[in-house]
Structure 1
Amino acid sequence: MVRSLFPAALAGPLLAACMGPPADPVTELEGGLLYAGAEQDRGEVAMQVGQTLRIELEGIPTAGYVWEIQDQPDFLELVDEATRPTHPEFQNQPGVTGGNHFMAFDLTATAPGKATLHMVNHRPWEGGEEIGTWRIDITVTPAP
């Protein structure tokens, strides 16, 4: 019996195409702040105890669609939340209301650990359908 290797040869590239491109690496900003946005979805970050990770995702909070942390690892402490307009030159003009905004979450590593941080974009009071999800694998090591 002759077996074709053709299906096996296609399996790897097809699987990779279904998974999408790999996440971009997390950026380190001035002062050691780590930054992750939409491009880091399904990615990973290594941090040390005491470092802060800022996650900034676009939402429509003026329509009730907000990002919320669904699964927060015990070794991360939420220390700040903020929003800013996506197009400040327009959105900050007198009389302009609404529009998309970036929602930022600052999480400081308080202990070593490894887990996945999971966030959802939804209208919390509706208790149902998510319009978006975002995840990142986090590994925290002791500070030197």
Structure 2
Amino acid sequence: HEIFGHCAMLTHPEVAGFTGQYGERGQAATPKQRAYLARLYWFTVEFGLVKEGTKTKIYGGGILSSPGETIYALESESAIRESFDLQTVLRTPYRIDIMQPKYYVIDDFSQLFQISQLNLLKQADLAIDAGLLPPLFEPKEPAHAE
């Protein structure tokens, strides 16, 4: 996953810059802010899509390292592909063990750089105040009986 999914993208200056800024800003975050900021990472570096002309392409390592999710993210009629909006992304719940019901599409990689220049802690606080959006998936079943 790390080599196949992330290494190539980290050679792109704007993706690498975004990742570095995200890490630096995350060090100053509270645990609650980190939980909201994790959604930004999830829906970009892990499960992000990008426009390239009239096509939508994959740049998220979680998609790139999964043949099934690659096909699903680009071709499934049930997958939702929505234009990237930072507040919506920060408020979108996700599960790590299912195909993502929704993917966010950036216009180009310069958008990641622009996001990295924002006050992400303030953006996280705004998302916290607004609360999470309803999940688009069922709750995970417990691993064992209680």
TM range (shorter): under 0.3
Q: Which structure carries more helix by proportion?
A: 2
> Which has the greater radius of gyration?
1
